Structures are given as structure tokens and as C-alpha cells.
Amino acid sequence: MTDDPIAAAAPGEEMTARNAKNGMPPLAPATAMEHGAGPFRRLILRGATVIDGTGAPPWGPADIVIENDRIAAIVPVGVPGKPISPSRRPPADGAEEIDCHGRFVTPGLIDCHAHIGVPYHGLHGGASPASYVYKLWLAHGVTTIREMGCFNGLGWVLQQKQASAANAITAPRILAHPYFPGVNDMLKTIHTPDQARAWLAGVRERGADGVKFFGAPPALMQAALAEAKALGLRTGCHHAQQAVTRMNALTTARWGMTSAEHYYGLPEALYERRIVGDYAPEYNYNDEYYRFSTAGRTFPQAAEPGSAKWNEVMEQFLELDFTFVPTYTIYDANRDVMRYRRADWHDTYTWPSMWRFFQPARGGHGSYWFRWSTTNEIEWKQHYQLWMQFLNEYKNRGGRVCTGSDSGFIYQTFGFGYVRELELLQEAGFNPLEVLRSATIQGAALCGLEDETGSIEVGKAADLLVLDENPLNDFKLLYGTGAMRLNDESGQVEWRQALRHTIRAGVVFDVAALLADIRDSVAAQKAREAEPA
């Protein structure tokens, strides 16, 4: 026996034990189904224009029949501009119905890099409950999340996963990828390949869907990836600067890694005039300013677009059927921090302790604004141009690029940050249908759920969004705040928001009610904090 809670922790609980020891307990889990109706014996979405997630263009009108939690039929019922004959429609047969005439239905969205809250926020006052995070996701159309790190603990995440699947809580579908404790600067408890294999067997036995890596010594990493593949565990890696010189994203892709998270490890795979990136002599990884300012200089050091090295690396990733989850959104403030400090949603939707966590502070992860400069922003803009060019070309040549948000850091609020990722993929060169494809069927394929969700097809789970306007026209209409527009008839400014219902496995959530609940909970927390001690 040991008195060290980290050493005594079950596989997948190491980071949680360390956080709790340092005053950062897990978030309060969700415990109730506060919103949602269904699943119904029979539910029909009447007269929808369908955008199915595969990349196919919109078509309709169609009636979509849902029985319990599955799509049972998709019935064409007419053509635009002509009345629909009742004889063409599926019979009601006692069904609940949602009027979708003039509306659009898409698959539910998949956040492939998500965190159910951030325990670090607890150092800045009361951390949000998990229910706040779940409601924000559902209110922005996210019906599935890939939890990358399980920093509340693998057991905690698995309990929430089960509760969501049983419709016992208001939450998306959850996939659990605990942190592999293999790097010194975060937490390292695994030192040998045998320990790595035993740990992976342990998290698999507990019910993990995959594993989140930040790196490890090469022999350890290679053994871990081989064992993960043998066990059927999917893998994603944030190739941290402390480990990337020994294994970049192409190295780990060859060893069997499923996906690269963010961009780390990709420019290093493209280096041709250096092995190690150009670090200033005063660089210290634990100084967040140096960590993130230097990280924005990596792509300009890499091979030029279209060069032999650029093409060679891209072709190798394509041959390996590798996936990128860029999370452009989480570093977007680096290009214009003032924009994100004043984002429309912070006042009413951002939890108070999360807002305080975002502020400049030495030692706070992602809170490096104490000396952020015009030069830093320009360097990050140049970095983005090359990063976006590589992944747009990768997509054009058949590679998989998925959407993830990593919200909870760097001025990104849950849900809102995910919608921003859609905008950024469009900025990268994806057309709107390609963006939606990345957010749905491509994400499902990465997660191994392509037979379950990600597109509108008979037999799949009823993970669907009902929208008042076509999201392909403007992704800003998906923000919970809506998008500011001028009503020419009234001469007044109004905020138009397209998402009406989020349907997760046949359970129908009213988006307006979710958003009102979130606003009320944030206001109530602010009022509690304002009360005299």
C-alpha cells in the first residue's frame, strides 16, 4: 500500500488524483434529465429540406420518420414550390410531429476534441457543473463528444457516459479517452513498455474508448500504440514540444496513432533544414508566453507548400489513412486577442470562474496575455495560413479532417468555440458542405461510429438538428447568441439564431429553453459570488 494518491490511483485516474491533491476536484456531475422529450414511439419531422452530412447537396421536402431512437424512414414528399399531396406522406399513426416545412435538418454535430469542463477553473472560484457544459453543447447542435483526457477521472466520465446513454441526464453521447501518463512536464507514472501495456489493458477493462497522448519516450510510445491497436483502443496525440523532437506526427502515424490533435508534430514532420525548431535562448516551456509565442513560429520553418518535402509528407499521411483534428478555434485568439475578450457571448454565457481563468496570469494554462504583441499576432496569422493550406489540400486529396473545439481555455466558451471551428474550416478553404461533412460523418468515422451516427440514413441513431434557416448560408446563425442582423422593415437590429431543436438518440431538446437555462445559471452564479461573505 502507498500513501501517495497518484501511485494508488486506478488506471485513468492519475491526473484526477493529482488535481484533487492540488485543490482542483472533479466537476459536479450531471444527475438529472432536466430537458428533453422522448424518445417517442413514433416521431415525424414533416416537410424538411435534408442536408445529410455525406457531402450531398440539400434536397427535399421529405418526411423523416423516427421510431424510438432510430431513423425508420426518409420519404420524399414533393418538390419545392408545389403543394405536398397528403397521399405521399407517411401516416401519422399516433406519432408526435415537428413541422419542418421551410426548415432544414442536418445530422447532429460531433466534437472530436472536447473536455467536460476544466478542473483548473476551480482555482478561480466555483467551477461550473458538468450540466452547464452539456447544455451549451446541445444548444449548439453537438450530439456526440470525444472526451480527450478525462481530467475529471475515467470512472467519472464513464458514469456520465452511461447516464447519457440511459437518458438519465441532459447530455450528448460521450466517448472516453483518458490521459496516458507518460510525459514529465504533466504527469508521468509509466516508465516501461510493460507498464504501458498493463495500463492500457486496465483502462480498456474499465471501459475506455480510446487514449489521449501527449508523448512519451519512443520505445514506450511505440509499445503503447501497438498494444492500443491490439486492444481496439483509438488514439489521439497532442505532440507536445517536450516530446516532438523524438517523434513527430508522421512518426506516430506510422506506429498506429489514430489522429493528431491541434497542429503540433505536423510542421516538425515537414522540417527539411532542421530537426529541432528554432527556440530563443531564454525559452522555457513552463513559461506560457514562450510556449505559445514560439509555437506560432513552427510552420514558417517547415517545407514550403508544393515542395518535394511537402508532397512527400502529405502522401505518407494519406497512405496511412491518418486523421487530423486541428482545433483551429482554440488558438484563434492568438491572431486577435481583443476580438475574443469582447466576444458577444461572454457576458451572459461564460461561467464566472472560467472568465477569471482566461485572464492574464503567470502559471495559468493559456493565460499568457501579459505580453502578447502585434508581432505575436502576425506570426500566428502566418502560421495559420500555412496550417490551413496543408489541411485543405489534405482534404482535397482524400484525407480526413475533423472538427474539435478544445473549449474551456484561451477565451473559448463551450459550444460557441465549436461553431467558430466551423467558420475556421471554411476560412481554410472547405466549402460549407465540406465543413458539415467534417463535423458529422467524418467525425463519426474517426470515432468508429459511422454505422451509428454522423449522417441521415435509415437505421442510424436519430441524432438530428432542426434549423429555421440553411446553415450553409452562414454558420454564424448557429451561435447561441445568434448573429446580429438589421431588419429592414422595422429598421431595428435583431439577433437571428437558426437552431430550433437538437435531437439526440430520439430525445428532442428545445434549444431556446436550453439557452435560457444557461443564462439563468450564469446569472445565478454571479449573484451568489456578489453576496457578502
CATH code: domain of residue 467: 2.30.40.10
Range of the domain at 524: 42-107+456-530
Is the per-residue pLDDT at 1 higher than 60? no
The answer as to whether 55 is a domain residue is yes
CA–CA separation, 440 vs 403, rounded Å?
9
Is the per-residue pLDDT at 265 higher than 80? yes
Q: Rounded to 5 degrees, what angle do the CA atoms 444, 133, 264 make?
A: 55
Please report which confidence band the pLDDT of residue 21 belongs to, taking 50, 70 and 90 as the band edges: confident
CA–CA separation, 87 vs 90, rounded Å?
8
Of 6, 11, 24, residue with least CA distance to 155: 11
Helix (H) or strand (E) holding 234: strand 234-237
DSSP state of 402: -
CA–CA separation, 40 vs 98, rounded Å?
12
- Determine contact, residues 138/505, Cβ cutoff 8 Å: no
Whole-number pLDDT of residue 8? 84
Read off the pLDDT of each residue in 441-450 and give the average, rounded to a whole number.
98
State the pairing for strand pair 259-261/234-237: parallel
The dihedral sign for the CA sequence 238, 186, 383, 435: positive
Whole-number pLDDT of residue 242? 87
Cα–Cα distances (Å) from 167 to 10, 143, 174, 252, in that order, read: 27, 13, 12, 37
Half-sphere exposure of 347 (CA within 13 A, CB side): 4
- Determine contact, residues 343/516, Cβ cutoff 8 Å: no
pLDDT, one tens digit per residue, over 373-395 is: 999 999 999 999 999 999 999 99
Please report which confidence band the pLDDT of residue 13 belongs to, taking 50, 70 and 90 as the band edges: very high
Helix, strand, or coil here: 72? strand
- Give percent helix, percent strand, percent coil of the chain, each to the nearest 5: 40, 20, 40
Q: Which three cell numbers stand for residue 113?
A: 476534441
How much is the mean pLDDT over the chain? Answer: 95
Cα–Cα distances (Å) from 18 to 25, 323, 360, 381, in that order, read: 9, 31, 24, 36
Q: Which three cell numbers stand for residue 120?
A: 483548473
CA–CA separation, 479 vs 421, rounded Å?
11
CA–CA separation, 101 vs 60, rounded Å?
10
CA–CA separation, 340 vs 41, rounded Å?
44
Question: First vs last Cα of the chain: how many Å apart?
Answer: 42
Please report which confidence band the pLDDT of residue 520 belongs to, taking 50, 70 and 90 as the band edges: very high
Q: Rounded to 5 degrees, what angle do the CA atoms 177, 183, 185 make?
A: 115
Position with higher pLDDT, 74 vs 286: 74
DSSP state of 316: H
Amino acid at 511: V
Rounded to 10°, the helix 308-319/374-396 angle is: 60
- Determine contact, residues 148/236, Cβ cutoff 8 Å: yes
Is the per-residue pLDDT at 157 higher than 90? yes
The answer as to whether 50 is a domain residue is yes
Per the rule left: phi > 0, alpha: psi between -120 and 50, beta: everything else, 257 is beta
The answer as to whether 516 is a domain residue is yes
Is the per-residue pLDDT at 209 higher than 80? yes
CA–CA separation, 348 vs 482, rounded Å?
13
State the pairing for strand pair 234-237/210-213: parallel
Is the whole model's pTM more than 0.85, yes or no? yes
Read off the pLDDT of each residue in 17-46 and give the average, rounded to a whole number.
94
Whole-number pLDDT of residue 145? 98
Please report which confidence band the pLDDT of residue 269 belongs to, taking 50, 70 and 90 as the band edges: very high
Helix, strand counts (H, E) of the chain: 17, 20
Other CB atoms within a 10 A radius of the CB of residue 52 amount to: 22
The answer as to whether 276 is a domain residue is no
Whole-number pLDDT of residue 2? 61
The answer as to whether 153 is a domain residue is no
Q: Rounded to 5 degrees, what angle do the CA atoms 164, 116, 399 make?
A: 90
DSSP state of 192: S
- Determine contact, residues 326/299, Cβ cutoff 8 Å: no
Read off the pLDDT of each residue in 475-495 and give the average, rounded to a whole number.
95
Q: How many domains does one find in the chain?
A: 1
The answer as to whether 64 is a domain residue is yes
Is the per-residue pLDDT at 146 higher than 60? yes
Q: Where are the beta strands (DSSP E) in 115-225?
A: 142-149, 173-178, 182-183, 187-188, 210-213
Amino acid at 58: P
The answer as to whether 179 is a domain residue is no
Other CB atoms within a 10 A radius of the CB of residue 383 amount to: 23
Whole-number pLDDT of residue 439? 98
The answer as to whether 57 is a domain residue is yes
Helix (H) or strand (E) holding 50: strand 40-50
